[in-house]
Chain A
Amino acid sequence: MRAGHFNEIWQRLRVLFKPKQLDRDLEDEVAFHLAMREHKNHAQGMDEREAGYAARRQFGNSTAVKERTREMWILTSLETLRRDFTYALRTLTKKPGFTAVAIVTLALGIGASTAIFSVIENVLLEPFPYPDAKRFMTVEIHDASRGESAGRAEYSAPEYLDYIEKNHVFDLAIADASEEVLYNVGEGVERLHGVLVTPNTFEFFGLPALRGRVLQPADYEPGAPPVFILRYKTWMANFAGDPGALNKTFVLNGVARTLVGIMPPRFGWGDGDVFIPVKPTRSETPVIPGEFPPVWYLMGHLKLGVSVQQAHADLTVVANQLAKVYPKSYPEHFVVKIVSATDMVVGHFRATLYLTLGAVALLLLISCANLANLLLARATTREKEFAIRAALGAGRWRLIRQLMVESLILSFCGGVLGIALAAVGLNSIVAMMPQVTIPAETEISLNLPVLAFALAVAMLTPLIFGLIPALRATRDDLEKPLRESGKGTSGSARQGHLRDAVIVCEVALSFTLLVGAGLLMRSFVALCGVNLGLRPDHVLVSRLPLPSERYKTAAQVTSFFRPLLTRVKTLPGVLDAAESSAFPPYGGFLSEIEIPGKVHRDKWNALFQLCSEGYFSVLRIELKEGRTFDAAEVNDARKVAVVNKTFAHRYFGNENPIGQRVRFSDLENFPDRVPDPWFEIVGVVADALNQGLQEPPQPEAWLPYTVSGSGQRGILVRTSNDPMMLMDSVRREVWATDRSVALTYTGSMENFINSQSFAGPRFGFVLMSAFAAVGLLLVSIGVYSVVAYATARRTHEIGIRMALGATRADALKLVLGTGMRIIGLGVGIGLAASLALSHLLASQLWQVSVHDPATIACVAALLLTTGALACWLPARRATGIEPTLALRHE
């Protein structure tokens, strides 16, 4: 019987999905009839042709018959579907709360998991478009005596050549170096990010050019016609995608170069705009005369069958040989690290993303648990409805079909909303994501397999849990649910335990999420409260790369900045302005130092900046001892220095540093070298952060910028109003001073610090908080629905108790007690879980303990309060029960 029904429905639905089948069947049926009739006519004496004609005549218009029949099938099928859908919609809209909660729960599960999985897939698993990017490895040299972050991945040209020659693990190795590229366009100067690339670079990446060609071995040879390759994004931005730009010649940093190729959209190694061929040589001549020789980032492609461990062993041997050749470049005790390209670029972001993934997995679990619980609770209340309908003769199949349609509507709405949420969520995540942490090549888009998986899970959950009532209702003992509710007992105990267990899990999961979010928030707040040691507000910064062919010496650089500073200082709204070679919270050059009379085994070094006298007043850095240098000393390029407290403390202890002399050895190696670089300390200033926000300040010194013409420079301007409002007038003054200078990284210092230093931690904490908030919401809904349901089932029992003399307070205690026991248990398990899992969070925290008692206490209080509130609403209803009414109930 059931099979028959199933067959019938299937046949009807099949018409909608396979209309061809229906046509074929009709065709066959009519043909059979005609053949039979023709056969009979023939047997009755007609000749063959006459028999066929007669058969068709007797049949009538066969096309019209088939047409009518087909229409009938299709209309009936649609009608059946429509009836099921209207009934399901009516049922669902009768309980709008349940429906909305179920749909939103589904959508959140699908949306959040898809969005985060997409980010992880695109950022961590496949960030690069290059065919064999998984085998790209960098070699890093770490000082064993210092922390994790103290290492280098860059090498001088001879070192790079040595690594290529001596290693046995890379089948191809390349290097790249950054270079600021200035080129003249129309009225001003554009600045591009140039990447110098070594021979084999394009063979290494294996991507063909979009237009033109990639670099060939001949392009790297000395004396070859100068060429360059353009990035797609830059081609679009600067040439509006004009193919005519190809094979034209542009003057880049004073060299006329021909554009020979444009790369496909996702190529962006080193985040370069233009790629310039350079063949590193052992003589290590600077690429641009008068500049520092480039530092090369080494990247090798592991040979097939070579493991990272083998590469590590091999390169450790090579590094130990080279440490003897270049003793200055290697710390006394060092370790070699082999880091994959992906890890190098997104390494520090990985933890945040995996943490988020964990949070999303928890959220998805809560969503599904909640949905299952909602459906189970609803199923139980509908058991009677189904029992009655089954008793009245509704077939098992009919009930199942109706529930299936209901579940499908829920899944469909949840799915559509989920996809929308995923798209919106992904966009917000991408917008909020700290850009510096993601490789330039990475494209983040919705991951379709993941979306399909989430949709499938979301579809199955309501289908499985939604069908339970139909299956239960159509079991053999139809009348059992009817008997049960008549007695007013609280349903089958087994199902009750299942629901309670689900809530306990939800509360525990939510607790873990909330603790994570709380700790990240505390960490972020600590970071926001960090003392920079200077005032970043109302400061405009701008880096000013000077055309190197005309600005090589200290005198040339001074001839630009001295008039510029005078002009800028006279602008209305400007309080003060200064030249600087580095921008906070980062210090400048690192140099080995010497102090007369001090003997020490390890190397002493300090950061130093080249600045003008206004630096300290622009940044409001407090003077502690002595004085800062004055305008005359800067003008005369006197060898005086101001140091920070850490410098004074570390190298002079309790001695007075004023008047002492320090030698900054590295100044001797500057392209515009400073002979005999001994400086007299004239003052000590307060510590300002110079290694980013999360690291303690290092010893640092400030020297007059007029002593050398080398290194990058920029200006700092203190303004009385919003610094962004002065951008245009400052740009005008820069160009009035020299038309060929480009302004880069121009903006308010506060914004730069925000985007560089706060974006990462903020991302982690906002994302985690969003998940925790959603989780808490879902848990409250879950607790509420379960307690409300249980209370409704116990109306009868409560009525009896009250009739027997129980007070309202007793009833309240009964309901609240049941709910709070579950929540309490959940909080307990959650506490244990978060203590066990907290080490996962440790790397993401700053100045907050992973077991921060305040956070844990707050979270516990929050969950208990929310839980109590969710129980309180149904409990209050229970205490309002009139005993007489309750006894008559049902």
Chain B
Amino acid sequence: MPEKKAQPTELLQGTLDLLILKSLQSGPMHGYGVAEWIHECSQDVLRVEEGALYPALHRLELRGLLSAQWGMSDNNRRAKFYALTAAGRKQLAQETDYWQRMSGAVARILQTA
């Protein structure tokens, strides 16, 4: 199924998706971990409402970009761990590339003014 990239409302969502994919690049994590990772890496610049993370996680799972498994957390609680699938890795690479070109282009435009 082709992705609808052009729609503006999707852009923000796409951003969140990209952050999630990125957060899982180094290994499986539960939702709380993903939220913490985003906070730390963005130095709290990207203040995501934590609840909004979950529909995004599930959507990525349904699209087959993430796989999910129930397991035990460090403090021995039942938690759902997300991991990148092969398709997810491919998507992450594509999106990263896209973002870098996009942000580079926007930056160049802003500089020329």
Separation of A100 and B112 alpha carbons in the complex (Å):
69
Which residues from B are CB-within-8-Å of A12?
A: 62
Partner-binding segment picked from B12-20, B76-84, B89-97, B99-107: B76-84
In contact, A25 and B50 (Cβ under 8 angstroms): no
Q: Which residue of B lies closest to A65 (CB)?
A: B51
Separation of A30 and B57 alpha carbons in the complex (Å):
12
In contact, B80 and A58 (Cβ under 8 angstroms): no
In contact, A30 and B77 (Cβ under 8 angstroms): no
Separation of A4 and B58 alpha carbons in the complex (Å):
17
In contact, B80 and A25 (Cβ under 8 angstroms): yes
Contact partner, A59, options B30, B50, B67, Cβ 8 Å = B50
Which residues from B are CB-within-8-Å of A28?
A: 78, 80
B27 on the interface (CB 8 Å rule)? no
Central interface residue in A28, A33, A65, A66, by most chain B CB within 10 Å: A33
Instruction: Say yes or no: A36-B32 contact (C-beta < 8 A), given A4-B67, A76-B62.
Output: yes
Residues of chain B having any CB pair with chain A under 8 Å: 30-32, 35, 49-52, 54-55, 58-59, 62, 64, 67, 70, 73, 75, 77-80
Separation of A28 and B50 alpha carbons in the complex (Å):
16
Which residues from A are CB-within-8-Å of B67?
A: 4, 8
Q: How far is the CB of A669 from chain B (nearest CB, A)?
A: 93
Q: How far is the CB of A86 from chain B (nearest CB, A)?
A: 14
7 pairs of residues in contact across A and B, judged by CB atoms under 8 Å: A30-B54, A33-B35, A37-B50, A39-B75, A72-B59, A73-B58, A73-B62
Q: A32-B78, A32-B79, A73-B62 are in contact. List 18 more A-B contacts (CB 8 A).
A: A4-B67, A28-B78, A29-B31, A29-B54, A29-B79, A32-B30, A32-B31, A32-B32, A33-B30, A37-B32, A39-B75, A58-B49, A59-B50, A64-B51, A65-B54, A69-B54, A69-B55, A69-B58
Q: How far is the CB of A757 from chain B (nearest CB, A)?
A: 71
Separation of A35 and B31 alpha carbons in the complex (Å):
12
Q: How far is the CB of B17 from chain A (nearest CB, A)?
A: 14
In contact, A35 and B77 (Cβ under 8 angstroms): yes
Contact partner, A60, options B30, B50, B78, B79, Cβ 8 Å = B50
Contact partner, A33, options B31, B49, B58, B70, Cβ 8 Å = B31
Q: How far is the CB of B40 from chain A (nearest CB, A)?
A: 12
Which residues from A are CB-within-8-Å of B55?
A: 65, 68-69, 72
Which residues from B are CB-within-8-Å of A73?
A: 58, 62
Separation of A76 and B51 alpha carbons in the complex (Å):
21
Tell me the A46-105 residues at the B interface (CB within 8 Å). 58-62, 64-66, 68-69, 72-73, 76
Q: Which residue of B lies closest to A61 (CB)?
A: B51
Q: How many residues of A contact B (CB 8 A)?
A: 27
Which residues from B are CB-within-8-Å of A76?
A: 62
Separation of A36 and B67 alpha carbons in the complex (Å):
22
Separation of A72 and B58 alpha carbons in the complex (Å):
8
In contact, B49 and A60 (Cβ under 8 angstroms): yes
Which residues from B are CB-within-8-Å of A65?
A: 51-52, 54-55
Q: How far is the CB of A822 from chain B (nearest CB, A)?
A: 48
Which residues from B are CB-within-8-Å of A26?
A: 54
In contact, B51 and A60 (Cβ under 8 angstroms): yes
Which residues from A are CB-within-8-Å of B54?
A: 26, 29-30, 33, 65-66, 69
Separation of A36 and B58 alpha carbons in the complex (Å):
20
Which residues from A are CB-within-8-Å of B80?
A: 25, 28-29, 32
Q: How far is the CB of A664 from chain B (nearest CB, A)?
A: 96
In contact, A33 and B50 (Cβ under 8 angstroms): yes
Which residues from B are CB-within-8-Å of A59?
A: 49-51
Which residues from B are CB-within-8-Å of A69?
A: 54-55, 58
Separation of A37 and B75 alpha carbons in the complex (Å):
13
Separation of A65 and B32 alpha carbons in the complex (Å):
15
Which residues from A are CB-within-8-Å of B58?
A: 69, 72-73
In contact, B77 and A8 (Cβ under 8 angstroms): no
Q: Which residue of B lies closest to A4 (CB)?
A: B67
Q: How far is the CB of B44 from chain A (nearest CB, A)?
A: 12
Which residues from B are CB-within-8-Å of A37?
A: 32, 50
As a 0/1 sequence over residues 340 to 369 of chain A, the CB contacts with chain B under 8 angstroms (1 = contact) are 000000000000000000000000000000
Separation of A672 and B59 alpha carbons in the complex (Å):
99
Central interface residue in A12, A37, A66, A69, by most chain B CB within 10 Å: A69
Q: How far is the CB of B16 from chain A (nearest CB, A)?
A: 13
Which residues from B are CB-within-8-Å of A30?
A: 51, 54
Which residues from A are CB-within-8-Å of B70?
A: 25
Which residues from B are CB-within-8-Å of A29?
A: 31, 54, 79-80
Separation of A76 and B52 alpha carbons in the complex (Å):
19
In contact, A62 and B51 (Cβ under 8 angstroms): yes
Separation of A646 and B76 alpha carbons in the complex (Å):
103
Contact partner, A32, options B49, B62, B77, Cβ 8 Å = B77
Q: How far is the CB of A746 from chain B (nearest CB, A)?
A: 76
Separation of A26 and B55 alpha carbons in the complex (Å):
10
Q: Which residue of A lies closest to B50 (CB)?
A: A59
Q: Which residue of B lies closest to A80 (CB)?
A: B62
Q: How far is the CB of A646 from chain B (nearest CB, A)?
A: 90
In contact, A58 and B50 (Cβ under 8 angstroms): yes
Separation of A69 and B52 alpha carbons in the complex (Å):
10
Q: Which residue of B lies closest to A75 (CB)?
A: B62
Q: How far is the CB of B35 from chain A (nearest CB, A)?
A: 7
Separation of A33 and B49 alpha carbons in the complex (Å):
13
Which residues from B are CB-within-8-Å of A58?
A: 49-50
Which residues from A are CB-within-8-Å of B77?
A: 32, 35
Which residues from A are CB-within-8-Å of B49?
A: 58-60
Separation of A25 and B70 alpha carbons in the complex (Å):
9
Which residues from A are CB-within-8-Å of B51?
A: 30, 59-62, 64-65
Q: Which residue of B lies closest to A77 (CB)?
A: B62
Separation of A678 and B55 alpha carbons in the complex (Å):
108
Q: Which residue of A lies closest to B63 (CB)?
A: A76
Separation of A65 and B59 alpha carbons in the complex (Å):
12
Tell me the A673-696 residues at the B interface (CB within 8 Å). none
Separation of A28 and B31 alpha carbons in the complex (Å):
12
Which residues from B are CB-within-8-Å of A36?
A: 32, 73
Separation of A73 and B68 alpha carbons in the complex (Å):
14
Separation of A31 and B55 alpha carbons in the complex (Å):
15
Tell me the A427-467 residues at the B interface (CB within 8 Å). none
Contact partner, B52, options A33, A60, A66, Cβ 8 Å = A60
Separation of A30 and B59 alpha carbons in the complex (Å):
16
Separation of A840 and B42 alpha carbons in the complex (Å):
89
Which residues from B are CB-within-8-Å of A33?
A: 30-32, 35, 50, 54
Separation of A64 and B79 alpha carbons in the complex (Å):
21
Which residues from B are CB-within-8-Å of A60?
A: 49-52
Central interface residue in A36, A58, A60, A73, by most chain B CB within 10 Å: A36
Q: Which residue of A lies closest to B52 (CB)?
A: A60
In contact, B64 and A8 (Cβ under 8 angstroms): yes
Q: How far is the CB of A24 from chain B (nearest CB, A)?
A: 11
